[in-house]
Structure 1
Amino acid sequence: MKNLKYLFAAGSLLFAFSCTSDELKEIGSDISTDVEQIDAGKVLFEQNCSTCHNFNQSAIGPNLSGLSRQVDSDWIKSFIKNPQEKIDGGDERAKQLYADYKVYMPAFPTLSEENLNDLLSYLHTYERIPVAEASDLDALEDPIPDTIPSSGMSLELEYFAQVPPSDEKSPLAKITKMECEPVSGRLFVQDQHGIMYEIRDAQPHEFFNLKSYFPDFVSKPGLATGFGSYAFHPEFTKNGLMYTSHTEKPGDKKKDFDYADSIKVTMEWVITEWKTDNPEAEVFSGTNRELMRIDVVTQIHGVQELAFNPNSKPGDEDYGLLYIGIGDGGAAESGFAFLADHQGSKIWSSILRIDPSGTNSKNGKYGIPSSNPFAGKPGKLGEVYAYGFRNPNRVFWDPNGRLLASEIGHHNVEELNLIEPGKFYGWPIREGTFVINPYGNMSALYPLPSDDASLGATYPLIQFDHDEGNAIIAGYFPNSGPFKGKFLFGDVPSGKVFISDLNEEKPKIQELGIRFEGKETNLREVCGNGRVDLKFGQDCTGQVYVLTKADGKIYKIVNQ
């Protein structure tokens, strides 16, 4: 892992180069200070850049404060248009960025020269050049020194299907979830731009157009907006009920979960119940009702997972209860850590469990199970099942019936957590098994204090750092072949695939190779893009699939 002691200083050096004070004055002199351009640039930044960048500290990408006073405007614009071309072309500054952040920034080829100039005008309003803070010097140099070894095995992939493009640039199809309706076995995949497909005979057929129902639906820009997730009720073939999450632009609709109006609302996440007229129909028609509406501070870390326990049976306490994974909405890194640090009293940074058929919630549109850990407790939110998550992007069950959740980290650590009711999983004061300061430099990690047990935090089942991958994505358990019962998961941007035996006392992580069309390769080469945007899927037979959003393709694992 990178040396965190000097991360802020290194972040500025990513862009800096030796120059005199006179030369520094010349840099940025071509940038307009027109107020209208600045305002236009702010809008562009919030839409396209704020997911990964801010002006306070490094996050997924570097702190951009002072950038336009250190780097030539033409270089900045060319990097925004095509960062991979700069990196692969050998540009030293671009190569250093990639070396430190280990991920290709998405390209923005559709931004016009006017757009880029507006962006520069906005960037130029931030003058401060980041420097290391004194407290950073006490940070851990290498919190996770171990590297993930190769397993010596490879996933053998076979092309399965192509999802229609929903964008002109990568990712061509924002396919994020591929699962089956558990009774009929029908296989579905959804695109974040608002379409849900049924895969029949290895061909996608449009089943459901979510965006057509909501005039305020928004899926651009952002890495996690739009059609977030879906889940079929365990009795869908009888009652026709399914559930979705999606984002809408802020408006005047009543919110069930909001915060002080002095804090910006960037998106509203909406959970909807749908009742199809005919559960066997190849194209959805039916009605819907809103279950809840949630404000979030930024476009990241929203409601990216809905799930029912596939192991529960009629009569079981968990049967028909909907699990909802919601992150902190970017609150912590935006300066509002209290929205995430709530001890079970707020909805953000939580895994929820609700009864869609009930009515005892505050809005009367769903039920709060009496068995939920905070149900009926003063000062607590009854919907919360577990809390302390930055971004629980997948919620699922292993073959032993244990509830698990993958957690995309901030700047350093990716996690897989074993979920138990009422437990606290650390965010925003822990990242993995380390201390993080949400009120200071969140890029730095510190060792746990001697009295850490008093915090009552539950730590990851497995974790890895950003030397290995930048955003964990889970994950399924093949039911046959050499990987039977093992946990398959990966890294979203790079497309690396990992395996772990979660039944071990201390599960280890190993990397898997990729074999395609008779040769050893990797997913970057397979999809022809430096940023793979990896996802996984599984059908009702247990067959596991690999999804690459970069090109919208689906591959079958043939040696599982």
Structure 2
Amino acid sequence: MKKAIMIIAGVGMAICFNACNTNTGSEEGAFPTDSVSIALGKAAFMQDCSSCHNFRADGIGPQLGGLTTFASAEWIRNFIKDPKSIIESGDTLAAKHYNKFKTIMPSFAHYTEEKVNGILAFLNTNKKAPSTLGVDDPNALRNPIPEPIPMSDLVVNLELVAQIPPSSEENPLTRIAKLSFQPITDKIFVMDLRGKLYYLNEGEPEVYMDMAKLKPNFIHQPGLGTGFGSFAFHPEFSKNGLLYTTHTEPPGSAKADFGYPDSIKVTLQWVLSEWKTNQPGGFPFVGESRELFRINMVTGIHGMQEITFNPLAKPGDADYGLLYVGIGDGGSAESGFPFLCNSPENIWGAVIRINPRGTNSLNGHYGIPATNPFSGSENENIRKEIYAHGFRNPHRIAWSRKGEIFVSNIGHQNIESLYIISPGADCGWPVREGTFVIDPSQNMWNIYPLPPDDAKNNFTYPVAEYDHDEGNAIAGGFEYWGKALPALVGKFVFGDIVKGRLFYVEMKDLKVGSQAPIKEWQITLNGVPKTLTALCGADKVDERFGIDRHGELYITTKPDGKVYKLVSANQP
């Protein structure tokens, strides 16, 4: 379901249901069969559930094919309304799968009975479970990284600096996903996926841009990252007034520049736009846009959620003014289309680099730098925009002081990873998850050790990684460049989106070809020890890291719309 993993059954769970005798399976009349209920349920499922679930194979959450043949309508109904209580009650099935997925679905108690009945009706139209993809392999690694992440003695004090207005009456109250700055000035901006870009005016959020008003086809559902995906001010914004954004629109809104065969479903389209204002210092934004490119996506997950410029590049440098774009695999691998994201002939699962002011792309709307690794290829099928590829979800891109490019890659069921990439790097997805083997044609829950002859593949592996004993999705961060917190100097700071845990690695330990040790750190708020989970009051913290022009760091949390600044740090 929406915003988290639904801890209910996939294929292979029937044994547990029957053995535990906790559910009676499909009862005659318990699942509505009328077309109106089914249509309502399908619409609700696509909006709230499809980011995590399908009926083919485990994704972010378990596949649901065949569920109603062995789970009672009453059990499913109760779980939808209050999953946490069922897990805490000791329900054998719920506890078993909480231990597997390690997170709790939010309550959908606000669903009307009509909508719950619709979900039941739609689930019941998918009675066939996949025959092999749900089979666990006894040879697979069940705890790929057995060493736990240790707690360090680093303590960082936070200060609440802004409260973003709710963008929904339902949880999460906001979907703030990025905090960044305007070049030259000290202005800080915060983006909500539901469509608004805020300027923090002395801590008070003011709407700078409203994507829903500017783009009539704008949508922010379905999908955990669907909506206003990212923004980046051109390095010379104060002179040229150029701003870049990504957002989502329904399938077929316009012809895609990057598409695939018609036999494969299009769930939505991501659009990269350039905006021009003649008043760079004006407020709110007033200007016009042009489309750079549009890309189709198989599902609502792993979209175009990161765009950024190299903050180290200066006028005259080869990298100056070039836009880096993180493009996820769109859920193609786990949906049965791994060929869309496993080579530089396709744009999905890649970090691309373009010149937004150029014209030598196929559509003529942007440029492809001559310094890109594939720009000189004679293969007409190669996507010359690609800088590095082999990612599931290159969620954040950052730079070290030395100019190294870091990519935080959200993994599948097992591994979260941090990469240092070089031009042309292949990071392995969908046949590698971190430093482990994965097979997209089989149960993608299973991962395996690297083979003895792995060097022949020439994959680039993470410089740091952790498994899902520790968290569920990496929250990409930054090397600390500021001056206010000497204890953070020499550290790359990041965390886990779901659990709200906070990590760091020492920059000196980050070397391609090995994995640096990760350590956890703690926080206080105004000097009082806290956790982000306690502060935001939600099981899913949805944390993100941001940075200002001076290199100082921020943390945001979606459920409560809070923006915190890291103001002091102590490490004995």
Instruction: Assess same fold via TM > 0.5.
Output: yes
TM-score by length of 2: 0.92
1:164 equivalent to 2:169? Answer: no
Cα-to-partner distance string for 1:482-515 (whole Å, 9 max, x where unaligned): 1123111111111111111132154210111222
Quickly say closer, same or farther: Cα 1:537–1:419, change in 2 above 3 A: same
1:452 is aligned to 454
The residue aligned with 2:4 is none
Q: Percent identity?
A: 47
Q: Which residue of structure 1 aligns with residue 375 of structure 2?
A: 375
Alignment of 1:508-519 (within 5 A): 508-519=517-528
Q: Offset at 1:90?
A: 5.2
CA contact (8 A) 1:14 1:97 kept: no
Taking the TM superposition and a 5 Å limit, the aligned residue runs for 1:354-393 are: 354-377=354-377, 378=379, 379-393=381-395
1:417-496 equivalences under 5 Å are 417-478=419-480, 479=482, 480-496=485-501
> Who is 1:284 aligned against?
285
1:98 aligns with 2:103: no
Aligned residue for 2:259?
258
Q: 1:493 to 1:182 in 2, by over 3 A?
A: same
Change in CA separation of 1:398 and 1:13 when aligned onto 2, cut-off 3 Å:
farther
Unaligned runs of 5+ in 1: 1-6
Q: Which amino acid aligns with 1:286?
A: G
Shift of 1:374: 0.9
Cα deviation code 1:450-502 (max 9, x no counterpart): 22112121111111000001000111233232112311111111111111113
Change (3 A) 1:13 1:520: farther
5 Å-filtered alignment, 1:128-277, equals 128=128, 136-277=137-278
Q: Which amino acid is the alignment partner of residue 152 of structure 1?
A: D
Tell whether the 8 Å contact from 1:27 to 1:70 is kept in structure 2 after alignment.
no
Q: How many equivalent residue pairs?
A: 551
CA contact (8 A) 2:25 2:72 kept: no
Pair 1:51–1:28, CA change in 2 (3 A): farther
Report the Cα offset of residue 75 of structure 1.
2.7
**Equivalences for 1:77-116 in 2 at 5 Å?**
77-88=77-88, 91-116=91-116
In the alignment, what sits opposite 2:552?
543
Partner residue, 1:325: 326
Deviates more, 1:312-321 or 1:473-482: 473-482
Q: Is the 8 A contact 2:180 2:189 kept in 1?
A: yes
Displacement over 6 Å in runs of 4+:
7-10, 130-135
Distance across 2 between alignment mates of 1:52 and 1:483: 35
Q: Which amino acid aligns with 1:329?
A: G
Change (3 A) 1:111 1:141: same
- Aligned partner (choices 487, 501, 510) of residue 506 of structure 2: 501
The secondary structure found in structure 1 opposite 2:121 is helix
More deviation in 59-68 or 530-539? Answer: 59-68
Residue segments in structure 2 that go unaligned for 5+ positions in a row: 1-8
| 2:471 match: secondary structure | coil
Where does residue 68 of structure 2 map in the other structure? Answer: 68
Structure 1 residue aligned with 2:53: 53
Which is worse superposed, 380-389 or 155-164? 155-164
Contact kept in structure 2, 1:174 and 1:552, CA below 8 Å? yes
Q: CA 1:526–1:90 in 2, change beyond 3 Å: closer, same or farther? A: farther
Separation in 1, partners of 2:120, 2:360: 51
Amino acid at match of 1:218: I
Local SS of the residue matching 1:359:
coil
The alpha-carbon deviation at position 305 of structure 1 amounts to: 0.2
Instruction: Give the deviation of 1:233 after TM superposition.
Output: 0.5
- Identify if the C-alpha distance between structure 1 residues 476 and 16 changes in structure 2 by more than 3 Å, giving closer, same or farther: farther
- State the Cα RMSD in Å: 2.1
TM-score by length of 1: 0.94
Checking the alignment, whether the CA contact within 8 Å between 1:297 and 1:330 is kept in structure 2 is: yes
Contact residue 26 and residue 71 of structure 2 kept, 8 A = no
Partner letter of residue 406 of structure 1? S
CA contact (8 A) 1:11 1:63 kept: no
Identify the range of structure 1 (451-460 vs 417-426) with the bigger mean alpha-carbon deviation: 451-460
Q: CA deviation at 1:317?
A: 0.3
Q: Measure the CA separation in 1 of the matches of 2:18 and 2:543.
A: 33
SS at match of 1:50: coil
Q: Is the 8 A contact 2:218 2:227 kept in 1?
A: yes
